[in-house]
Structure 1
Amino acid sequence: MARAPRILIVSADIGEGHDAPARVLAAGIRAERPDAEVEIIDGLDAMGSLVARVVRDGTEIVFGRLAFLYDLEYWLVVHFPPARWLAGTLMYLVGGRGLLHAIRAFKPDIVVSTYPGTTDVIGRFRLDGYLSVPTCSAITDLAALRYWAHPGVDLHLITHPESTEEVRDIAPASRIEWVQGLTSPGCLDPFDKREARRSFGLPEEGSVVLVSGGGWAVGDLIGSAEIALQVEDSVVVCMCGRNDRVRAEIDARFAGEPRVRTVGFTDRMCDLLAAGDVLIHSTAGLTVLEALMRGTSPISYGWGMAHIRTNNREFARHGLADVAQTP
């Protein structure tokens, strides 16, 4: 009898865009192979407290108050190869030992990464001969894939077929597969819009506009809600993820306005998208794809910088989402 496969999934709690597909992937593997041993680890924690603090805390601060620095950092990485090399090499040298130790401790048959920062390090492990088992990158963005894809990674899973060319340019010898199974479960299931609305206490008639800033609720959610309220008889649902502060700010701003609702993190994203007519989203990623799967029209607005700007351009080019010309 064949030995049960051991699959290690490396993620990072930067919003929900990496942890959520990691959980979905793990559940899918267990459903297909109940005997499989699947473990999810946080790659930043494995790299050590210094890397975790700098990346996790630094990202949250930059996203919130110093967004221009994020834009500058992205420009340097994309347009100035020495900066890209330095960023990747520092992560590799400072955090690589801890991550490699965590991988070897699990003794996996394959390593899957859902976070581009760890994908880059794992790809380097393969090229440098430190990792002998196959590696896989689960890519959930449409574009700006410089760290999502790596020539040392054996298999790249993409959620948009339009990503193939960019991944091939970065990792020409790798295997590339367009897949389902990284989005929230049930997004392709049949649904009744009225029933979906009733389940969230939303009116069955009129327009429902969903506003999302991802797991960290970044971007101009309040501005999006104000614009959406201009649509007659519309109801606005602001999805605030795990950011209680932003949710409280929105509740305070629209106190007494019955047409604005807020929700926190939900594992019923597909049901909520089924209830909506339009999704205004600030951070690109899987939520846009899930909206398309549910027949909800996505609009990208509110945080058009760095890799989001690149994804927005590709959304528009491929006709996948409307993109507001303001932030």
Structure 2
Amino acid sequence: MKPVTLKQIAEHLNISVTTVSKALKDYPDVSPKTKALVKELAKTLNYKPNAFAVNLRTKESKTIGLIIPVIVHHFFSSVIKGIISQAEKKGYLVIILQSNESYELEKKQIDLLMSHRVDGILISLANGTANFNHLNEVIAQDKPLVMFDKIAKIVKCSKVIIDDRKAAYIATQHLIDTGCKRIAHFRGALLPQNSIDRFLGYKKALLDNNMPYDPSLVYICECGDMSFEEGKKNAQQLLKDHNDVDGIFINTDLVAIGAMTEFNKQGVKMPDDIAIVGFSNWFMSSVISPTLTTIDQPGYLMGKTAFKQLYKEIKQRKNNKPVVFKDIVLDTDLVKRESTKTVS
């Protein structure tokens, strides 16, 4: 069946198309009786507004694009939930794309979203993204762009982040406070800003406590900072390279859980032999044995905040008001569990 039109409703009731349109929008110059008749018939005939026509008239698609590195991940799943919770309240559809940590795919996805004339774009960068021309092009076309979590500081747009450097410092300081003397770091890939900042926070905590920084204790997750297998591999290598390490700060919980799985397999006791602090606070971190001490990263709140900022900028542009870019920094917390000793 063909979609029902305003004209058909008007002909049924012997009134104008304009009156039907106004009645459906609750205009005050249409009588309550006429409104009731129009809405009842529209419901009976299963009338649906023509979204394309509405978009042409309002110059809004009521859609936004969301590009994230991976979907099957506790943190990004929480971010998506936060974004959708706010988008639905404002009547927006969210197009979710996964870059798979690929710069080339991320570029294609930006082009795709722009060709679909989305009202704005939310993005967390792929690990492989080192060139930002595709993002600067979005900004040059006056399309609202908000970055979150994995960001590029030199791109001039709003950003929603945590203080990764501070959080990593707190995580490493906790290991020091519990008596660890030789602390390793499993870091993420070299490019993402959050990976860089977490490494710098780890390093600063060591130096502030007069502990030498040893680059041989830093293991890079070549396959990405969310790999369970990478955690196992780095744990195996650490045990071969260093028999004196008694603490590890690990870039994400999934890598930490991979490492803990390997340590359990090899009879390494946690926290007695090696204490571990992760990052993100996945559900799994509270059920693995021993339970994992970690930094709680507010994914759901980050998603809500990112959408709210994007929506604000969409409305500012529509109303020809100046757009002020913001760097919004959310708080994190250290969640102490069994993988670290208590502070003596």
TM-score (structure 1 length as normaliser): 0.36
Q: Which has the higher contact order (CA 8 A, sep 6+)?
A: 2
TM-score (structure 2 length as normaliser): 0.35
